Structure 1
Amino acid sequence: MLDPARFAREIDGKPVRLFTLRNQRGMTVCVTNYGAKIEQVLVSDRAGHFDDVVLGYDSIEGVVGGAPSVGAFVGRYAGRVENARFTLGGIEHQLAANNGPHCLHGGLRGSRFQVFDAVQHDASSVEMRYVFAGGEEGFPGTLALRVLYSVTDTNELVLNYEAEALDAPTVANFTTHAFFNLEGAHSESALGHEVMIRASRYFEMTSELIATGRLLPVEGTPFDLRQPVALDTRVGKSPAEGGVAGYDDCFAIDRDAAEDGELALCARVSAPASGRVMEVWSSEPTMQFYTGMLAGEPLAGGPGKGGRRYVQQQSLCFEPQGYPNAPNIAAFPSALHLPGQARQGRTLYRFSTA
């Protein structure tokens, strides 16, 4: 169990803490209000043994010095905005470029680097708030964000979030960026996991991972994950073998008409050795799936929990969100937020065993 005392600091004049959420079945989730980051998730395997199934850090110094996306709630705009600019109302807005010429995950100082105001309501939930100032990272308009983390007695980690433009139109796109390994965070690879993603189409990307506006069929490609696939049968294989170096790809989730705008199953992942199973449900229309592209390549920043060095393909990210690069692609559903019109979203990770 993480020690809350090691997270009790002040950053940018604001108090930082670690919040521990528990249900009646022993599931425990630890979240810090620095970047609203998930640092620990303890769930049982098929034998009843509890283990940590996310990458994270065991002190606030580790979080600040670690890979910035690990565990974070990402905004003001998750994913990449092409050339770090877009036009809204006839005005071009130049954003902070932090991924070559592009803006990634909100820019140089997106929500991953901000201290949220936080209140723990009860043993199983904590509410976090952050207000993006007008002009912050180049985005127009003041935007108020509220995120509620909770755990349920059916072993779900639930994120309910709401954003409201306060004074001017703006754009926004949010996601949650936990790095999962259902064999336990001590496991050196996640490629033994079996993954199903409920998507018959994926987004065409440029070589710089910018959405072009085209959606392509997964049929006959390594991106067809509609039936469970052991990742080690695809990742690290040659194209001739139907393989890929890794996944960093966005999928359009298949939805029934009744699910439009409501919770829908996005993905299911299972770990054969531990028996742990995780389902990803969300109200968001797309989901980024990330394994990392370079097996064994260290993640940015310092070591993680217990001094371990985290590497690519050690964990898996399932990031429900809006359409990528939507401010620059008129054919995509709008990412526009108008004053007085709050936008809500919900994502949950449901744990079980098999």
Structure 2
Amino acid sequence: MKPLQIREYGRMPDGRAVHEYTLDSGAGLRLSVIDLGGIVTRLEVPDARGHLANVVLGLPTLDDYRLRNPHFGVIVGRYGNRIGQGGFTLDGEHYPLDVNDGANCLHGGRQGFGTRVWEVEPESDSCLCLRLVSPDGDQGFPGRVTATVRYRLTDDRDWLVEYEATTDRATVINLTHHDYFNLAGGGSVLGHELELTASRYAEVDAGMIPTGLADVTGTPFDFRTPQRIEARIRQAHPQLQRAHGYDHSWVLDAPQDGELHRAARLRDPASGRSLEVLTTEPAVQFYSGNALDGSLASPDGQLYRQGDGLCLETQHHPDSPHHPDGPDWPSTVLRPGQTYRSRTLHRFG
């Protein structure tokens, strides 16, 4: 493990300094993170020949991340993905939420966790601890929530994200990370091979709110064996047409026992890079970067277009507060005295 590096990345409008922290495993994995949103600005991984490249999409400046970021690299909270109907009811009380996606609250609202400056404390050269206190009523959510997220590198090429949260009042919580991966280091990801350990996925309505679960068999949503994304994303399936690509939650086949199980495997045949995602969560959202339209550019000036990055967001299902608690749709309610815990491991090869 190489020594942690810290530099000033920029300043917020109120003068607060934002720092960038770079963890280096010494085995070819280098992770750069800023205080704002816990954003991963760079994630460098070697290819089959040992050449390093950044495999996550990023933006040129702090102001770009403040003002124009489509969730590149952020910690998502309080609630990853969508909650429909403009709010939810818990214990007989209705909570209107900040609506920022049609009639939905997306990724915790306009001022979700990805827009906040986190308190960052290096615990070692291989581990960063990020903390945030979200007040009662934040974006409409009840309860004062204290969230802790750790980014940890191993001596190999593993990046572990560990989440914890507590509350002083019953609330809902669904934390995740929103990296846009491109294992080629540039260009399109549609030639990547994707495998998802999931036999069912959540169909969505016109507002991208789940309506129920469907079997993947015989559909372009079947990634139980490795499939090139480009071979499936153009198929004339109503769900693909509705989302303009993939933006769906898959139900993982693994048991919900608190242990890490494989959710996904991604491979770029050209570079030889691979990414295995293991998680304790019950679902993974595969998003194919459908809204990338050339209006944003990378730090080296390349325009981002649809299919230039994809997300694999380990999480509970979207809109869970509107579904009865059960094995297919586990609850996202957190109560005082409980601790929310979740882990996701990214293993690069």
Q: TM class by shorter-chain length?
A: over 0.9
Tell whether 2:32 aligns with 1:30: yes
| SS at 1:137 equivalent | helix
Give the direction of change, closer, same or farther, for the CA distance of 1:245–1:97 in structure 2 (3 Å limit). Answer: closer
Give the direction of change, closer, same or farther, for the CA distance of 1:55–1:143 in structure 2 (3 Å limit). Answer: same
Matches within 5 A, 1:169-318: 169-184=170-185, 187-212=186-211, 214-239=212-237, 245-256=244-255, 260-293=257-290, 297-298=293-294, 302-318=296-312
Bigger mean CA offset, 342-351 vs 14-23: 14-23
**Cα deviations across residues 176-231 of structure 1 (Å, max 9, x unaligned)?**
010001011xx22100100000000001211111012x211001111000000011
Q: Is contact 2:9-2:17 (8 Å) kept?
A: no
Q: Is contact 2:280-2:342 (8 Å) kept?
A: yes
Measured in 1, the distance between the counterparts of 2:18 and 2:117 equals: 7
Deviation at 1:297, TM superposition (A): 2.0
Q: How many residues align?
A: 340
Unmatched 5+ residue regions in structure 2?
A: none
**Cα deviations across residues 96-138 of structure 1 (Å, max 9, x unaligned)?**
0000111000001001110001111222221100111000100
| SS at 1:120 equivalent | strand
Letter in 2 for 1:293: N
Measured in 1, the distance between the counterparts of 2:130 and 2:165 equals: 12
Letter in 2 for 1:98: N
Give the direction of change, closer, same or farther, for the CA distance of 1:148–1:233 in structure 2 (3 Å limit). Answer: same
- Among 309, 322, 330, the residue aligned to 2:324: 330
Deviation at 1:5, TM superposition (A): 4.9
Deviation at 1:235, TM superposition (A): 1.7
Letter in 2 for 1:325: D
1:80 is matched with which residue?
A: 82
Bigger mean CA offset, 65-74 vs 124-133: 65-74
Q: Is contact 1:68-1:112 (8 Å) kept?
A: no
2:19 is matched with which residue?
A: 17
**Cα deviations across residues 21-51 of structure 1 (Å, max 9, x unaligned)?**
1112131000111011111011110001111
Measured in 2, the distance between the counterparts of 1:262 and 1:81 equals: 27
Bigger mean CA offset, 98-107 vs 324-333: 324-333
Deviation at 1:11, TM superposition (A): 5.2
- Structure 1 stretches of at least 4 aligned residues deviating more than 6 Å after TM superposition: none
Measured in 2, the distance between the counterparts of 1:4 and 1:309 equals: 28
Measured in 1, the distance between the counterparts of 2:246 and 2:8 equals: 34
Backbone CA RMSD of aligned residues: 2.0
Deviation at 1:261, TM superposition (A): 2.2
Measured in 2, the distance between the counterparts of 1:42 and 1:109 equals: 29
| SS at 1:280 equivalent | strand
Q: Is contact 2:79-2:174 (8 Å) kept?
A: yes
Tell whether 2:46 aligns with 1:44: yes
Letter in 2 for 1:298: G
Give the direction of change, closer, same or farther, for the CA distance of 1:132–1:14 in structure 2 (3 Å limit). Answer: farther
Letter in 2 for 1:16: V
Letter in 2 for 1:270: R
Identity, in percent, stands at 37
Measured in 2, the distance between the counterparts of 1:80 and 1:245 equals: 17
| SS at 2:304 equivalent | coil
2:151 is matched with which residue?
A: 149
Tell whether 2:71 aligns with 1:69: yes
| SS at 1:149 equivalent | strand
Deviation at 1:6, TM superposition (A): 5.9
Tell whether 2:319 aligns with 1:343: no
| SS at 2:190 equivalent | coil
Q: Is contact 1:286-1:321 (8 Å) kept?
A: yes
Bigger mean CA offset, 54-63 vs 339-348: 54-63
Measured in 2, the distance between the counterparts of 1:74 and 1:298 equals: 24
TM-score w.r.t. structure 2 length?
0.92
1:136 is matched with which residue?
A: 138
Q: Is contact 2:8-2:17 (8 Å) kept?
A: no
